[in-house]
């Protein structure tokens, strides 16, 4: 994505023991796993392949479960978090006279989602009106009306600027954003979108695997259209047309490396200018129907995409667009429909594209869609259960220590002039940290949730969220809002708010444990999470925004040049073959995340150093396990990333994600760090001690 980055902590976990003290329901509550340094494989040398050294025993003891695409040391935490949410929802589903409105919504959402029998019996009942409406479209000028309907029903239209590649729903993405040049102003954006494959490359690459995936995609579209009631012949013809349309859209879409540069997407336009880009689409009608307020201006991320869309609208007959819209409607509704739809959707997106062998159990799928749709209602009970005040206090202390580490790092840089250092310090000082959960919970009272239709519940929640995003236009920026829900195991930096946010769901084992020593917490949470997000404010994207969140160049010419040279070192180093997936990583796509990984671990190490000094402990003091604090720091960092993955998932990840795969998040980082070489006594010539080590921060 561009301005906001979600840091995805892929599932990771470390071996071992210890029952969760708060496990009230021993039958259902899975065990959390705790960091265990004895899992390091001492038959290997840490300076040869540190990831293997730290993870080998774990790999040997953990097979990837059939319903998983990734399985790592944090997967037990994901399961634990999901289980807490499940218990909350089950309790709320019991109808009683004293149910609160929040419990009614959460409980009835759960009841509708878990009633598979009723969902199967309903078939396409709740979709029929929408499909009929598409069939009755009389001319192309009515397309705008249908796209507006779709955007208000299918989750995700507003995610454009959040997304690495494109908006997930029909035609384009639409939502509100802070203006790039003036972060105090909320405007509207229009983004490329409407393609069902995970990225532009999937349509355009012509290697054998890509061709095979496209053929299977076309087959998947055909099957879905058949399930929705089309004849075999109509569905087959439709699938061919739809793939052709989406391929043409991909050709005019901006590639994901170009999208990373905020200046490329910062195209301000008036409504008249957008209308001139795409005369065949009735923008005024669309905007009236979705009820968007008039903004000062629009940001059109990729004008070229809309020029291409215009050509397509002119070239293709109405029947083609009807097929496309039916597909978009069925595709976007599939997870909430009968099992035949759910199964076919799983088969293509999770099995073929990501290698999973079976579906997640129903209850976990229900928990996840409730977390997306009612996250701050569901999250309140989670916080009470999983995030005690002591964890919050320690997390805030760690954030301060790591920020202080970056401040000292900036002061010590030999490549930056005092003028730029001063600006960097100003920006760092202005970073606002959010820890745990919002001060004020979102009000879902206008969302209608019933026990009778899972699909309608999702539609209602989608309309609420879409409207909520649009009504921000023209109002003061809400600095208190969170982009992730409290139980999320992941975090983000928001360049336009200049904010870092760490949901409560991160502060549990194996990443964080209030009872363990600082080296372990500062390695996994301090480096992998907190340091990483803080550094995003100063990666190749983040550095282009100033302390107030405006896209403004605060660098001297020579410092910018020095930065770019150092950044290129990372881009080159991470441009590498990923053998198990048969694809090549583009280090320009992952440069921001790689910079954040490398900088994050360094400043977290500095934070640990000063923390231990305060505590009167040496970095070289050995624990009962025989490892020094500096070694435990790196072992904990590496352990948090031990991850097994399906080759299909790695392939899709490398082609679309701005994050490097886990092995590189460990080995490339430590092989760039003298602090690591010192910790494990690495000597010149070993793989984990690079001759051309890269460093920005
Ligand atoms: Zn990140």
> In angstroms, what is the span from residue 657 Cα to ligand 1's centroid?
11
> In angstroms, what is the span from residue 33 Cα to ligand 1's centroid?
24
> In angstroms, what is the span from residue 594 Cα to ligand 1's centroid?
8
Contact assessment for residue 498 and residue 549, using Cβ atoms and an 8 Å cutoff = yes
> In angstroms, what is the span from residue 599 Cα to ligand 1's centroid?
11
Contact assessment for residue 503 and residue 484, using Cβ atoms and an 8 Å cutoff = yes
- Which two structure tokens, joined as six digits, stand for 178? 């802070």
> In angstroms, what is the span from residue 501 Cα to ligand 1's centroid?
12
Handedness of CA 388, 394, 397, 401 (dihedral sign): negative
> In angstroms, what is the span from residue 6 Cα to ligand 1's centroid?
6
Residues contacting residue 597 through CB under 8 Å, at least 6 positions apart: 532, 660, 665, 668, 669
> In angstroms, what is the span from residue 117 Cα to ligand 1's centroid?
41
> In angstroms, what is the span from residue 660 Cα to ligand 1's centroid?
10
- The dihedrals phi and psi of 466, each to the nearest 5 degrees, come to -60, -45
Residues contacting residue 252 through CB under 8 Å, at least 6 positions apart: 302, 304, 305, 307, 308, 309
How distant is the alpha carbon of residue 563 from its chain centre? 27
3-state helix, strand, coil in the chain (%, to 5): 55, 10, 35
Structure confidence at residue 9 as a pLDDT band (50, 70, 90): very low
- CB-CB neighbours of 644 under 10 Å: 21
Whether 78 has a pLDDT exceeding 50, the answer reads yes
> In angstroms, what is the span from residue 533 Cα to ligand 1's centroid?
6
| Averaged pLDDT, 439-443 | 96
* 496-546 tens-digit pLDDT: 999 999 999 999 999 999 999 999 999 999 999 999 999 999 999 999 999
Range 579-609 burial, b when 16+ CB lie within 10 A, else e: eebebebbbbbbbbbbbbbbbbbbbbbbbbb
Residues contacting residue 516 through CB under 8 Å, at least 6 positions apart: 34, 35
> In angstroms, what is the span from residue 436 Cα to ligand 1's centroid?
18
* 252-307 tens-digit pLDDT: 999 999 999 999 999 999 999 999 999 999 999 999 999 999 999 999 999 999 99
Whether 207 has a pLDDT exceeding 80, the answer reads yes
Strand pairing report for 643-645 and 298-300: unpaired
Whether 155 has a pLDDT exceeding 80, the answer reads yes
> In angstroms, what is the span from residue 310 Cα to ligand 1's centroid?
35
User: Which residues is 191 bridged to in the sheet?
Assistant: 173
> In angstroms, what is the span from residue 425 Cα to ligand 1's centroid?
21
> In angstroms, what is the span from residue 539 Cα to ligand 1's centroid?
10
| Averaged pLDDT, 469-477 | 97
Contact assessment for residue 530 and residue 416, using Cβ atoms and an 8 Å cutoff = no
**Rounded Cα–Cα distance for residues 82 and 349 (Å):** 22
> In angstroms, what is the span from residue 662 Cα to ligand 1's centroid?
13
> In angstroms, what is the span from residue 575 Cα to ligand 1's centroid?
18
Q: What is the DSSP letter of 659?
A: S
Question: 304-307 long-range contacts, Cβ below 8 Å, gap at least 24?
Answer: 304/252, 304/253, 304/254, 305/172, 305/192, 305/249, 305/252, 305/253, 305/254, 306/172, 306/190, 306/192, 306/274, 306/277, 306/278, 307/252, 307/277, 307/278
Coil, strand, or helix at residue 130? helix
> In angstroms, what is the span from residue 208 Cα to ligand 1's centroid?
32
**Rounded Cα–Cα distance for residues 630 and 643 (Å):** 23
> In angstroms, what is the span from residue 659 Cα to ligand 1's centroid?
7
Structure confidence at residue 22 as a pLDDT band (50, 70, 90): very low
* 360-398 tens-digit pLDDT: 999 999 999 999 999 999 999 999 999 999 999 999 999
**pLDDT on residue 14:** 27
Whether 225 has a pLDDT exceeding 60, the answer reads yes
Range 277-302 burial, b when 16+ CB lie within 10 A, else e: bbeebbbebbbebbebeebebbbbbb
> In angstroms, what is the span from residue 492 Cα to ligand 1's centroid?
7
Structure confidence at residue 13 as a pLDDT band (50, 70, 90): very low
C-alpha distance from residue 83 to each of 30, 136, 314, 361 (Å)? 8, 45, 51, 12
> In angstroms, what is the span from residue 382 Cα to ligand 1's centroid?
24
**Mean of the per-residue pLDDT values of the chain:** 94
> Nearest CA to 342 among 458, 447, 234, 241?
458
* 53-75 tens-digit pLDDT: 999 999 999 999 999 999 999 99
**How large is the angle between the packed helices 629-639 and 662-671, nearest 10 degrees?**
150
**pLDDT on residue 169:** 87
- Which two structure tokens, joined as six digits, stand for 610? 């000063």
- Which two structure tokens, joined as six digits, stand for 577? 């073959």
**pLDDT on residue 151:** 97
Residues contacting residue 561 through CB under 8 Å, at least 6 positions apart: none
> In the block, which residue shows the tokens 């490359």?
201
229 exposure class (CB count in 10 Å sphere: 0-12, 13-18, 19+): middle
> In angstroms, what is the span from residue 395 Cα to ligand 1's centroid?
18
Handedness of CA 644, 648, 654, 657 (dihedral sign): negative
* 653-677 tens-digit pLDDT: 999 999 999 999 999 999 999 999 9
Give one DSSP letter per residue of 86-123, joined into a string: HHHHHHHHS--TT--HHHHHHHHHHHHHH-HHHHHHHT
Coil, strand, or helix at residue 608? helix
C-alpha distance from residue 10 to each of 29, 78, 123, 130, 505 (Å)? 21, 10, 35, 37, 13
* 157-206 tens-digit pLDDT: 998 766 666 678 899 999 999 999 999 999 999 999 999 999 999 999 99
Q: Is residue 210 reached through a cis peptide bond, with omega within 30 degrees of 0 on the bond before it?
A: no
> In angstroms, what is the span from residue 364 Cα to ligand 1's centroid?
25
> In angstroms, what is the span from residue 495 Cα to ligand 1's centroid?
12
Give one DSSP letter per residue of 11-56, joined into a string: -EE-------TT---TTTPPPP----GGGS-TTS-TTT-HHHHHHH
Residues contacting residue 653 through CB under 8 Å, at least 6 positions apart: 581, 645, 659, 661
Coil, strand, or helix at residue 436? strand
> In angstroms, what is the span from residue 397 Cα to ligand 1's centroid?
21
> In angstroms, what is the span from residue 595 Cα to ligand 1's centroid?
9
> In angstroms, what is the span from residue 322 Cα to ligand 1's centroid?
39
Structure confidence at residue 29 as a pLDDT band (50, 70, 90): confident
* 599-616 tens-digit pLDDT: 999 999 999 999 999 999
C-alpha distance from residue 532 to each of 35, 403, 529 (Å)? 20, 11, 5
Say what percent of the chain tops pLDDT 70: 95
> In angstroms, what is the span from residue 216 Cα to ligand 1's centroid?
32
653 exposure class (CB count in 10 Å sphere: 0-12, 13-18, 19+): buried
> Nearest CA to 501 among 488, 519, 511?
488
**pLDDT on residue 162:** 60
> In angstroms, what is the span from residue 254 Cα to ligand 1's centroid?
22
Structure confidence at residue 436 as a pLDDT band (50, 70, 90): very high
- Which two structure tokens, joined as six digits, stand for 371? 């977390």
> In the block, which residue shows the tokens 């073929």?
352
Q: Secondary structure of 228-286 in the HEC alphabet?
A: CCCCHHHHHHHHHHHHHHHHHHHHHCCCCCHHHCHHHHCCEECHHHHHHHCCCCCHHHH
Structure confidence at residue 249 as a pLDDT band (50, 70, 90): very high
Q: Which helix (H) or strand (E) holds 174?
A: strand 172-178
Whether 624 has a pLDDT exceeding 90, the answer reads no
Whether 678 has a pLDDT exceeding 50, the answer reads yes
> In angstroms, what is the span from residue 35 Cα to ligand 1's centroid?
23
**Rounded Cα–Cα distance for residues 554 and 438 (Å):** 31
> In angstroms, what is the span from residue 15 Cα to ligand 1's centroid?
25
> In angstroms, what is the span from residue 9 Cα to ligand 1's centroid?
9
**pLDDT on residue 163:** 63
Whether 23 has a pLDDT exceeding 60, the answer reads no
**pLDDT on residue 164:** 65
**pLDDT on residue 623:** 87
Structure confidence at residue 2 as a pLDDT band (50, 70, 90): very low
Give one DSSP letter per residue of 326-348, joined into a string: HHHHHHHHGGGS-HHHHHHHHII
> In angstroms, what is the span from residue 343 Cα to ligand 1's centroid?
32
């Amino acid at each position: 994505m561009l301005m906001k980055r979600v840091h995805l902590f892929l599932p990771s976990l470390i071996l071992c023991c210890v029952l969760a003290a708060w496990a009230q329901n021993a039958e259902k509550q899975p065990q959390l796993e705790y960091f265990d340094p004895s899992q390091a494989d001492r038959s290997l040398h840490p300076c040869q392949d540190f990831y293997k050294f730290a993870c080998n025993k774990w790999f040997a003891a953990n097979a990837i479960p059939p319903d998983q695409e990734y399985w790592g040391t944090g997967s037990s935490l994901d399961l634990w978090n999901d289980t807490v949410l499940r218990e909350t929802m089950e309790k709320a589903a019991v109808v009683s006279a004293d149910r609160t409105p929040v419990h009614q919504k959460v409980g009835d959402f759960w009841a509708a989602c878990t009633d598979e029998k009723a969902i199967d019996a309903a078939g396409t009942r709740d979709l029929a009106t929408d499909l009929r409406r598409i069939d009755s479209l009389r001319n192309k000028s009515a397309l705008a009306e249908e796209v507006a309907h779709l955007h208000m029903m299918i989750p995700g239209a507003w995610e454009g600027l959040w997304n690495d590649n494109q908006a997930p729903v029909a035609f384009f993405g639409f939502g509100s954003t802070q203006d790039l040049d003036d972060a105090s102003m909320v405007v509207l954006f229009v983004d490329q979108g409407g393609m069902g494959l995970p990225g532009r490359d999937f349509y355009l690459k012509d290697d054998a695997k890509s061709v095979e995936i496209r053929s299977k995609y076309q087959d998947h579209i055909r099957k879905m259209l058949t399930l929705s009631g089309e004849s075999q012949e109509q569905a087959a013809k439709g699938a061919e047309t739809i793939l052709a349309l989406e391929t043409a859209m991909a050709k005019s879409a901006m590639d994901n490396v170009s999208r990373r540069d905020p200046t490329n997407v910062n195209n301000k336009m008036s409504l008249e200018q957008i209308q001139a880009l795409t005369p065949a689409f009735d923008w005024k009608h669309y905007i009236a129907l979705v009820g968007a307020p008039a903004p000062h201006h629009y940001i059109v991320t990729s004008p070229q995409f809309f020029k291409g869309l215009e050509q397509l609208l002119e070239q293709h007959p109405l029947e083609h667009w009807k097929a496309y819209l039916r597909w978009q409607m069925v595709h976007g509704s599939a997870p909430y429909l009968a099992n035949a739809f759910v199964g076919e959707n799983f088969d293509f997106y999770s099995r073929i594209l990501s290698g999973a062998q079976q579906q997640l159990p129903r209850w976990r799928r229900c928990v996840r869609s409730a977390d997306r749709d009612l996250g701050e209602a569901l999250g309140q009970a989670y916080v009470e259960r999983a995030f005690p005040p002591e964890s919050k206090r320690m997390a805030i202390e760690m954030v301060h220590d790591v920020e202080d580490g970056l401040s000292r790092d900036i002061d010590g840089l030999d490549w930056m002039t005092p003028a730029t250092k001063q600006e960097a310090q100003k920006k760092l000082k202005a970073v606002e940290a959010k820890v745990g959960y919002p001060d004020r919970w979102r009000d879902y009272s206008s969302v209608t949730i019933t026990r009778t239709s899972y699909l309608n519940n999702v539609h209602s929640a989608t309309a609420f969220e879409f409207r909520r995003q649009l009504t921000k236009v023209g109002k003061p920026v809400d600095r208190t809002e969170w982009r992730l829900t409290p139980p999320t195991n992941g975090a983000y930096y928001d360049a336009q708010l200049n904010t870092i946010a760490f949901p409560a769901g991160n502060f549990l084992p194996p990443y964080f444990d209030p009872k363990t020593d600082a080296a372990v917490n500062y390695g996994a949470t301090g480096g992998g999470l907190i340091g990483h997000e803080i550094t995003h404010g100063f990666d190749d994207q983040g550095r282009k925004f100033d302390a107030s969140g405006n896209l403004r160049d605060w660098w001297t010419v020579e410092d910018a040049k020095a930065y770019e040279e150092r950044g290129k070192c990372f881009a080159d180093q991470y441009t590498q073959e990923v053998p198990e997936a048969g694809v090549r990583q583009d280090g320009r796509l992952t440069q921001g995340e790689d910079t954040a990984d490398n900088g994050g671990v360094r400043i977290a190490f500095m934070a640990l150093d000063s923390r231990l000094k305060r505590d009167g402990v040496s970095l070289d003091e050995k624990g009962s396990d025989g490892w020094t604090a500096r070694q435990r720091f790196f072992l904990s960092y590496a352990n948090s990333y031990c991850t097994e993955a399906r080759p299909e998932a790695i392939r899709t990840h490398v082609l679309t994600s701005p994050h490097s795969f886990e092995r590189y998040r460990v080995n490339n980082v430590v092989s760039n760090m003298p602090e690591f070489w010192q910790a494990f006594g690495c000597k010149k010539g070993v793989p984990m001690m690079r001759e051309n080590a890269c460093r920005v921060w």
